[in-house]
Structure 1
Amino acid sequence: MIEIKEKQIWIDGSPQIIMCGEIHYYRLDRGDWQDRINKLKQAGCNAVAAYVPWICHEPVEGELDVTGKTRPELDIGGFIDLCKENGLYFFVRPGPFIMAEMKNEGIPFWVYKKHPEIIPVTWDGRDIQTMTIDYLAPSFLQETRKWYEKIMSVIEPRLIQNEGNVIAVQLDNEIGMLSWVSNSPDLTDQLIDHFCQYLENRYSNEELNLRYPFSLAFSKERNEQIRSPKEAYSAELMKDLGYYMRHRFSQYVATLRNYAEEFGVKDIPFVVNIHGTSGGRGFTYPIGISQLYESYTQDEGYLSGSDIYFGDLNMTTFQDLYLINGFMDAVHREEQPLTSVEFNCGDGNFGSTYSDRYDPSAVDFKIRMCIAQGNRLINYYLFTGGRNYRMDQELKDGNDRIAFTGERHGFAAPVSPEGELNYTYGRMARVTKTVMASSEKLAEMVEEHDGVSFGFIPDYYMTESFHPNSGRMKEIIKNLEDYRSGGGWEIMARAMLLAGYRFGSSDIQNKSIDPETTPVLVLPSAAYMAAAVQQKLARFVQDGGGLLIYGEVPSMDMEGQHCSILADALGAELLENVKEEQHYYLSVVAKGWAAPRPEVRAYRAQTYRLSGGEPILTVYGTNEVCGFETNAGRGKAIVIGSSYSCDIPLFTEALERLGASASLIHDFKDHGIFMTSTINKADERFYHLLNLDGFDKELHLYQNGEALFGGKTLLLQSKDGLMLPVNMMLKNGMKILYSTAEIKEIKDAAVEFRLTQKEDVIVFEGTPELLPSSDFAVVQEGNQTIITSKKHAKVDDHLEVKTVPGSNMIDHQRNAAVQKN
């Protein structure tokens, strides 16, 4: 039995961490299945994931092969069963779209040929540039239902509640992504007809007449007006079409779920995959969240899954991953945990040119951050490479294969198409085993936060579709793109994390914000912001909240109409936007509590006339205010309205003035450290630290002013991560008060550690009977047993602490507790 509750995944009555590896069974000889499964198990994973390609299983209509009768590698049931024989869970991804570099994104050729009406047209009636389909086209749904009937007959008897190993089913893949990346919204006649019905249900006749100067009744002219919008209503169309497509996506997902349940696949999580990372960064990832959050929050039983396609996690990118995990959580239902169903691993050599080469720390760091933020299922994509076989049908498309990457596929994966391990496998296996060694604890832990939340506005990312000739649409999108991430991520979020702030995120568009639960809110802000959101923020401050804005104080709503609700509440009249120009070196001067600070070059500044409050930044030469602090009602706001440097002390002081302090800090002066902590209901903790730089760092760690780990100097090795336990009761009865070494494996009468220091310290509660070892010294101090390693972690990082055979650790703990009392 599998349940989703309390942001956890429960299997057979206990919360679990699921570590998957994606294996494309259809790209491997059947004789190689066991070898790849062995390598997955050796890496520490407890589950396998796989797409199920419709194009392979039914290349000719009606000629279905799910048993391997035409190709042995197409026996999907046999592959799932083999995984079960190996003690592995299974996460199945049957499309109908799967992408995975497959032809037609995994849809059989005959579907397109038989139903040409499902192929959308887009702006100006142009042909779509990708192999997308109108998801709700009746004939496409009819064919999809037949595919689901066939493939669910294989999945249903293998569900975990039917004594099988299938624990989740993904519905389609990266819905809306193809339209977004090509700026080609589906604009078929049928879709436009449904869109107009949607508008008539959403607005009154009077409102519609103001928004759209043409009749919404079906006509060729109406369709042309929507496909080739005029500037007068282009902003309204961009907003309404964006909302409608989100509604349409959610209908599609619900329809697929109904098909699955109709054919017996039910009472397990249905996963919706979110796309969006681009160019190794996360700036565009929230577009996928914006497109799909209605799909996976519409009812119980859904999970959202991220696509994490970052390269190295370093000082450039680390805040991106932290933020997008937070944004996903912000829109979730109360019970929904984070998952990542395409977690990029391997060496980055996607083009087989060796032009990209990830550091071995890449997967390690991303896993550690995701686990700390509450990811409960992670799927390594792609775990092993394979081959693209040639189809029996002659395609005359240059290779006749099932995919477009050539004969070999997945050449960047940790396991090559030929089964060889590349240099990333070892570090990936190490972090996976570290997570799984403590999975019982991690599965129920939550990240601790410091009373500050990062604001998320989904509509700021509703920018995937705009008419190429619309200046009005482009103007709105340009401003949103400049301010929704940019400096808000690169400057403010990075400064907060480097200062030690641990924060979540708040969906301030769709959910309430209460100063009692969110004392301080930080927000990247653009010139455009919906009136309802502006009103919500104004009320938040007036009710006692602290608000830190980086960017622009909004002056318009999302359709470009004047709206200054927030500015009025803050007593700020907007004057002008100043930008650097050739031979004009815009500079910003600190004032008030922000002074004294060196003057800072800036590329833009929004200036204000204040009715109250205190200037903190001004434009050099004009003394116009471009940053200020003000009181409003019972609360306070600080606005940084110019671009600024990543001044960690400035943002720290601003947050402290608003009421948020970082309770977990370190004393290494050159930064480059990410850190956070997780806790469960028993007050057991892990402290998670990443050294993002290529050199060693020595530091002390403090929580609420008190030194942690006995005040010991910690060594963070170059490009290494730590997950250090505090107050941790192990399943063998031993209790670790704190340790500078990572838990590697817990056995009945021993604990294995990965040493991380010059001289590691492990402190147990009580007086366990330990077998002596030349690898460590033991000292008893009161009710503590202190182990000090005699091995330098850089020379030999393995340490095993064994108890005397026959000793009962749980009894020792009970006796220690009696003596203590």
Structure 2
Amino acid sequence: MIEIKEKKIYIDGKPQLILCGEIHYFRLEKTEWQDRINKLKAAGCNAVATYVPWICHESVEGEIDLTGETRSELDLISYINLCHENDLYFIVKPGPFIMAEMKNEGIPYWIYEKHPHIVPIGWDGRAGSTPTVDYTHPDFLNEAKGWYKEVMTAIVPMLHENGGPIIAVQLDNEVGMLDWVSNTPDLTDHVIASFLSWLRETYSESEDRYPIPLTAEAIRSPDESYTAMLHLDLGYFMRQRFALYIKCLRGYAEMFGVHAIPFIVNIHGTGGGRGFTFPIGISQLYESYTQAPGYLSGSDIYFGDLTMETFQDLYLINGMMDAVHRPEQPLSSIEFNCGDGNFGENYGGRYDPSAADLKARMCIAQGNRLLNYYLFAGGQNYRFNQVHGDGNDRIAATGERHGFAAPIDPEGYENYTYPRMAESIQTVMAQKEQLAAMEEERDSLVFGFIPDYFMTEYRYPKSHRMKMLYQNLETYRAHGAWEIMGRALLLANYRFTGHDVQNKELDPSEQKAIVLPSASYMSRSIQKKLVTYMKNGGTVLLYGEAPTYDMEGNKCQLLLEAANVEVVKTRHATEKQFLSVVARGLASPRPEVRTHVAQVFSSQDAEPIFQLYGTDELTSFKEQVGQGTLMVIGNAYRCDIDLFQKLLTSVGVQPTLSHDYKHHGLFMTSTRDEKGQRFIHVLNLDGLEKSFAIYEHKQMLFNRVNVHLDARAGLLLPLNVSYGSVKILYATAEVKWYQKTSMTFKGSRKGFVIFLQTKQVVQVGSGVMVKRLEKHHYLLQAEQAECTITFR
């Protein structure tokens, strides 16, 4: 039985950690399957995932092959059984859309030929620029139902509850992504009819909301007088439409016998190696995977290397996923990018071997219970039997070879990233039982997430109003706030998650402070909620612009009014006007710093944090609101770690963990289970070795021994963690391998210490000193990076 509860994945009553690898059976000769599975198992994975491409299995309408009758590599059933024989779990991803660089995103050609009316119409009545369809059109749903009938009926005997390996099914893939990348909503006649019906149900009289009666033409080519409200309504409607689509697919799966496993919804959005746009996918799809129990949201993590530039992106988007989750839902990543980054076969964008390792360590520290390494093994794109005249007639757009960036290349050879990735997976799996039951420990603050700030996927190209509104949101919802405030908080060792301030309540007794990227636009309801939170004793720290409008562009300044503060203007630096801010109050003494933009405020009582040089105009402030506090950083500023810690400390929010490495470049957090077992998770984001002390509540841990961390390395440092009959009281190394009779530890090449408790006799090799401190307690000191301890 597979259960999703307590932010964990339970299999047969035990919390489990699933580290999975994506291997596309249909891109490999059947004789190659076992070789790729062997390499996956050697890496330490305990599961396999694959898409099931409709375009391949039913390339001709009504002729469905899931057993390899037409091509041996299409024998899905044998592939699942082979994985089961290898003691691996299995995740099935049958689309209908699968993307994966497949032609038509995996939809058969005959679907488009048979149902041309499901191909979307976009803005101004033009054809959609991407190969998507009207997801909820009855004709498409009927075809999808037929496809699901074939796949689900075939896999039911292999579900976990029936003794098989299948533990999850993914429903479609990256729903709404094609709309986002084209900034064009689906506006078929069917969608517009559904939208008008939704408007009538949502508003008492839709005509009262809009200045004209809405027609298909008025929606496809909107007038400036209502573009803001139309975009907002289209965003809300599409969220519900996607949720309906996912509900239909789940209904089909269950209708044909798939039960007692979670259904995964994959979230898209990373781009250019950064996470700034990932919350667009969260915004589009959160109603899809929170509409009922039994869903998992799966992230797409395409970040390349985890560096000082990008590490806060990964931490923040995990927090934003967590922010919208139901209480029982854990984090997971169904496309966790691995390999060397050579997607174009030009050796550009080459990843460091540490990339997958460091990202996985951060995700697991934050509570990810499932990571699917994508793409684990490459393969070949065969040619269709039917000629489509598209230049190569292959099943995918990448030519003959596919997955050239994968750790296992299309020919089955390991590239340079495989060894480090495998070692990382093996290390995590050595403590999978502990990690699967642990949750991140957090300080008393949250990072605010407003889904509507990222509801910018539809944009009428002729609307100047929407261009200005979206530019403001895109400027302040991420970028500076993430790279200044988010990065500073993490480098100050604050541990936090996201909070959906739009849809969930804030309680000062649980969250003393919320830090929030803020634009000029913020809904009246959110501003009102934040005011209530502050009046009850909470602290709001805004970075960006204090809001002066609601999300439709109407004046709304509830937040500032509660603090008796007004916005006077916004100042911008020019080629001849070098704006600088001077630190005041809590921020002083600090050097004067250049800025390119500053919101200017007027207040009688607010405590200045920054003022403009030469005019003393107020640009950042702190003000009491009821029992709480509003702090606004209204000018662009540098990543000043001490400043943000000082501001939060002034309202009683301090980081519990700290270290004494002065040059930064360390990420640190901790996890704990109900038994009190803990790990301190540390990552070195730089290419140099580091030595430092770790403190908790200002007390040095590990019996006052420094931690040594190699360049671009991570460690899972155990505190009171039991491995069978051995309890690690503390160690400045991690457990790389564990068996009942032996343990292998790995730390820095400068050595490490281990303090353990066991009734067994401890034996070590050369280079390790053992001292028995008291009954059953041993202190070991290693002088090298790795050592093995045996017990008898």
Give the TM bin, normalised by the shorter chain: over 0.9
Aligned to 1:214: 212
The SS at the match of 2:26 is helix
Aligned to 1:47: 47
Alignment of 1:551-570 (within 5 A): 551-570=544-563
Match of 1:742 among 716, 727, 734: 734
Shift of 1:619: 1.0
Shift of 1:755: 3.1
Supply the distance in 2 between the matched residues of 1:692 and 1:173 (Cα, whole angstroms): 32
The SS at the match of 2:225 is helix
The answer to whether the 8 A contact 1:520-1:659 is kept is no
Shift of 1:224: 0.7
Shift of 1:687: 0.6
Alignment of 1:471-510 (within 5 A): 471-510=464-503
The answer to whether the 8 A contact 1:692-1:719 is kept is yes
Q: Is 1:312 matched with 2:310?
A: no
The answer to whether the 8 A contact 1:778-1:785 is kept is no
Shift of 1:783: 4.6
Supply the distance in 2 between the matched residues of 1:361 and 1:586 (Cα, whole angstroms): 41
Match of 1:340 among 309, 317, 333: 333
AA in 1 matched with 2:784:
H
Q: Is 1:16 matched with 2:16?
A: yes
The SS at the match of 1:771 is strand
Supply the distance in 2 between the matched residues of 1:750 and 1:772 (Cα, whole angstroms): 10
TM-score of the two chains, using structure 2 as the length reference: 0.99
Q: Is 1:800 matched with 2:788?
A: yes
Supply the distance in 2 between the matched residues of 1:575 and 1:512 (Cα, whole angstroms): 31
The answer to whether the 8 A contact 1:211-1:233 is kept is no
Aligned to 2:162: 162
AA in 1 matched with 2:509:
E
Shift of 1:342: 0.2
The answer to whether the 8 A contact 2:512-2:653 is kept is yes
Supply the distance in 2 between the matched residues of 1:351 and 1:680 (Cα, whole angstroms): 43
The SS at the match of 2:762 is coil
Aligned to 2:287: 294
Shift of 1:697: 0.9
Supply the distance in 2 between the matched residues of 1:214 and 1:297 (Cα, whole angstroms): 35
Supply the distance in 2 between the matched residues of 1:376 and 1:54 (Cα, whole angstroms): 29
AA in 1 matched with 2:259:
K
Supply the distance in 1 between the matched residues of 2:755 and 2:348 (Cα, whole angstroms): 46
Shift of 1:322: 0.0
Aligned to 1:203: 203
Aligned to 1:755: 747
Aligned to 2:94: 94
Supply the distance in 2 between the matched residues of 1:180 and 1:755 (Cα, whole angstroms): 44
Shift of 1:756: 2.4
Shift of 1:209: 3.0
Structure 2 alignment gaps of length 5 or more? none
Aligned to 2:112: 112
Alignment of 1:319-330 (within 5 A): 319-330=312-323
Aligned to 2:70: 70
Aligned to 1:394: 387
Supply the distance in 2 between the matched residues of 1:784 and 1:770 (Cα, whole angstroms): 10
The answer to whether the 8 A contact 1:761-1:786 is kept is no
Which piece of structure 1 moves more, 76-85 or 771-780? 771-780
Alignment of 1:45-444 (within 5 A): 45-205=45-205, 208-216=206-214, 222-444=215-437
Aligned length: 792
The answer to whether the 8 A contact 1:612-1:630 is kept is yes
Alignment of 1:627-642 (within 5 A): 627-642=620-635
Supply the distance in 1 between the matched residues of 2:129 and 2:145 (Cα, whole angstroms): 26
Supply the distance in 2 between the matched residues of 1:350 and 1:189 (Cα, whole angstroms): 38
AA in 1 matched with 2:48:
V
Aligned to 1:818: none
Name the CA shift for 1:628/1:84 in 2 (closer, same or farther; >3 Å): same
The answer to whether the 8 A contact 2:323-2:500 is kept is yes
Identity %: 57
**What is the root-mean-square deviation in Å for CA atoms of aligned residues?**
1.0
Shift of 1:790: 4.2
Q: Is 1:774 matched with 2:766?
A: yes
Name the CA shift for 1:260/1:482 in 2 (closer, same or farther; >3 Å): same
Shift of 1:546: 1.3
Shift of 1:746: 1.6
The answer to whether the 8 A contact 2:301-2:337 is kept is yes
Shift of 1:752: 1.6
The SS at the match of 1:382 is strand
The SS at the match of 2:458 is coil
The answer to whether the 8 A contact 1:23-1:382 is kept is yes
Q: Is 1:530 matched with 2:528?
A: no
Shift of 1:620: 1.3
Partner deviation per Cα, 1:713-753 (whole Å, 9 max, x = no partner): 2111111111110111112x111100112111221122121
Supply the distance in 2 between the matched residues of 1:787 and 1:540 (Cα, whole angstroms): 50
Name the CA shift for 1:633/1:78 in 2 (closer, same or farther; >3 Å): same
Partner deviation per Cα, 1:242-295 (whole Å, 9 max, x = no partner): 000001000000000000000001121000000000000000000000000000
Shift of 1:13: 1.2
Shift of 1:787: 3.8
Name the CA shift for 1:407/1:623 in 2 (closer, same or farther; >3 Å): same
Supply the distance in 2 between the matched residues of 1:706 and 1:788 (Cα, whole angstroms): 22
TM-score of the two chains, using structure 1 as the length reference: 0.96
The SS at the match of 2:69 is coil
Supply the distance in 2 between the matched residues of 1:137 and 1:89 (Cα, whole angstroms): 34
AA in 2 matched with 1:370:
C
Partner deviation per Cα, 1:458-509 (whole Å, 9 max, x = no partner): 0000000010010111111000000000211000010000011111111000
Partner deviation per Cα, 1:361-400 (whole Å, 9 max, x = no partner): 1000000000000000100000000000011011111100
Structure 1 alignment gaps of length 5 or more? 217-221, 805-821
Supply the distance in 1 between the matched residues of 2:76 and 2:233 (Cα, whole angstroms): 42
The answer to whether the 8 A contact 1:676-1:689 is kept is yes
The SS at the match of 1:675 is strand
Supply the distance in 2 between the matched residues of 1:231 and 1:210 (Cα, whole angstroms): 17
Aligned to 1:37: 37
Supply the distance in 1 between the matched residues of 2:270 and 2:776 (Cα, whole angstroms): 48
Aligned to 1:817: none
The SS at the match of 1:658 is coil
Shift of 1:154: 1.4
